[in-house]
Structure 1
Amino acid sequence: MQMGSFVYHTLFIDGITYLCATDNALDTITPSAFLKNMKYNKNQDDTPISTLRSQVTDVKNIMSQNIDEILESENRLSIFTDRTNDLQTTAKESQNTRKALRRMWRKHFRKIIIITAVILLSIIIILLSTNVIPT
């Protein structure tokens, strides 16, 4: 097949189409030999393509491991964030409880002081009125 100034040669084997483009329409032997040679080399392990495939597979495995580690880190960070929020809530509740206890203590302390003052004043008035304490 010819398009423009290039001639395209194809070889279809096992569902894979091999394509070669040449600029010489008269030479049909060299591209065919090149395509057959490519088919022959596809099963060898020392080809640049197999090396590249191996490297891509290695990179893919490393990336999968990194993604798994990121997901685990995100999960741990989420747990840590939840615990921090729980601690903050507990601290605020504790602070509010302390404030409420102080207010209650102050109210009771005032009542005790007022009752004590009233009792002492009553005792002094009774003692003065009975002449136990001379006026």
Structure 2
Amino acid sequence: MGILYALVARGSVALAEFSGTATNASTIAKQILDKIPGNNDTHVSYSQDRFIFHLKRTDGLTVLCMADDNAGRRIPFAFLEEIHQRFVRTYGRAVFSAQPYGMNDEFSRVLSQQMEYFSSDPNADRINRLKGEMSQVKNVMIENIDKVLERGDRLELLVDKTANMQGNTFRFRKQARRFRSTVWWRNVKLTIALILIILVIIYVVLAFVRHGPALPSCF
């Protein structure tokens, strides 16, 4: 299933978010932001049922995602690192004065694209394997979300059943694109081959008409 939800925030102020399926992850994510103590840089994960909220906070900017527990830690944290870099490169110091959801219209599309890439493209994991697992991720302990949310504030995570098909949908779309590309190239090759054959036939016919067969001599 991969990564289902992502959020970028300054403190507890959400600046952009995207959800790949029907879920109340946004509500729980904002509660997590409110409960995380201090302002220090941190990498942390919180489990909720079979889903895990992964969080990376650097220089006052927090990037959070919710992923299926089968996604492990390397891919979600690689996703968070990529989103953090893209967000900072795109908006610079504007992130420190932006209004709530000030970047949502534009950056939610980036979140959607990167969620699909890190959830379904095998190159995403291959690249990070080559880089080596990030040292800060090795030390991340996955705690139950009850430890960060007060008992009275705890919300049950609700994920639409169609989320179970999310990963398959990502993979199907990618395979469909590859299939269309393969068919397109095959049709191009066939078309080129047919054109070459037709040109050869035309050349032979024209050569035959121009010179004609040798006529036998009557004398």
TM bracket (short chain)? 0.3 to 0.5
Question: If each structure's strand is expressed as a fraction of its own residues, which one has the higher value?
Answer: 2
Larger Rg: 1
Q: What TM-score comes out, normalization by structure 2 length? A: 0.28
Q: What TM-score comes out, normalization by structure 1 length? A: 0.42
Q: RCO greater where, 1 or 2, for CA within 8 Å and sep 6 or more?
A: 2
